[in-house]
Chains A and B, each alone.
Chain A
Amino acid sequence: QVQLVESGGGVVQPGGSLRLSCAASGFTFSSYGMHWVRQAPGKGLEWVAFIRYDGSNKYYADSVKGRFTISRDNSKNTLYLQMNSLRAEDTAVYYCAKDSGTYSSGWPHDYWGQGTLVTVSS
């Protein structure tokens, strides 16, 4: 069965950096685009970033563009989110989510991880 397991969350000071990982199993990782979606405490969902199945294209929310970088290692079935220049407003649960279309440029998320909490605070 499809499993997505995020890790790397924690407490970081404003201006700091953190790298999230998402280990994928149960499907052919290299055939699917992947996303990061976040949710601030008590708030709604915010789409953060997308990477195509082969890493050839990446897209970002305006709120993180220039600070966050999405990447993937298809040999390790792992998705990453490098987060730099973190701000208090980046505090959220970060979910990795699988694209539901193969070799696509983006389809809705049919599987989600359990999320990892990032807290930006001094």
Chain B
Amino acid sequence: VIWMTQSPSLLSASTGDRVTISCRMSQGISSYLAWYQQKPGKAPELLIYAASTLQSGVPSRFSGSGSGTDFTLTISCLQSEDFATYYCQQYYSFPWTFGQGTKVEIK
């Protein structure tokens, strides 16, 4: 099983801030990493796959980087609709695993 460490678990920020979320793997996964956004009471939505490819319809203020064991999700200019919980997920090998989640809240 590939373990994932996602940090921070809670991030307080203001509209307009640049925020960064980290995801570290217990072993290399090449670029088989996805990022999801989830709002309360809703299903998650795919933001980024293949570590850095933006899913269709996702605003360009979201970006992803990294390969191997260390990955980052960046929101360049936080908007009000971006306050949510974010999860990374590895799909390099089964069983797939998710990070523990990062809640982005209003400071």
CA distance A65 to B77 in the complex (A): 42
Known: A44-B87, A107-B49. A62 touches B95 (CB 8 A): yes
* A48-79 with Cβ < 8 A to chain B: 50, 59-62
Quick check: B96 and A112 within 8 Å, CB to CB?
A: no
* A73-93 with Cβ < 8 A to chain B: none
- Indicate if B69 sits at the interface (CB-CB under 8 A): no
Question: Which of B87, B95, B100, B101 has the largest count of A CB atoms less than 10 A from its CB?
Answer: B95
Quick check: A45 and B91 within 8 Å, CB to CB?
A: no
- Indicate if A9 sits at the interface (CB-CB under 8 A): no
Quick check: A100 and B94 within 8 Å, CB to CB?
A: no
For chain B, the count of residues having a C-beta within 8 Å of the partner chain is 21
CA distance A47 to B91 in the complex (A): 10
Quick check: B91 and A106 within 8 Å, CB to CB?
A: yes
**B42 (CB) vs chain A CBs: closest residue:** A114
Known: A44-B100, A47-B89, A59-B95. A108 touches B49 (CB 8 A): yes
Residues on B with beta carbons closer than 8 Å to the beta carbon of A100: 46, 49
Residues on B with beta carbons closer than 8 Å to the beta carbon of A44: 87, 98-101
Which of A59, A95, A108, A113 is the one whose CB lies under 8 Å from B89? A108
Known: A107-B91, A108-B49, A108-B91. A47 touches B96 (CB 8 A): yes
Question: B: which residues have CB within 8 A of A?
Answer: 1, 34, 36, 38, 43-46, 49, 55, 87, 89, 91, 94-101
Can you identify 9 A-B contacts, CB atoms within 8 angstroms?
A44-B87, A44-B101, A45-B44, A45-B87, A62-B1, A100-B46, A108-B49, A112-B45, A114-B43
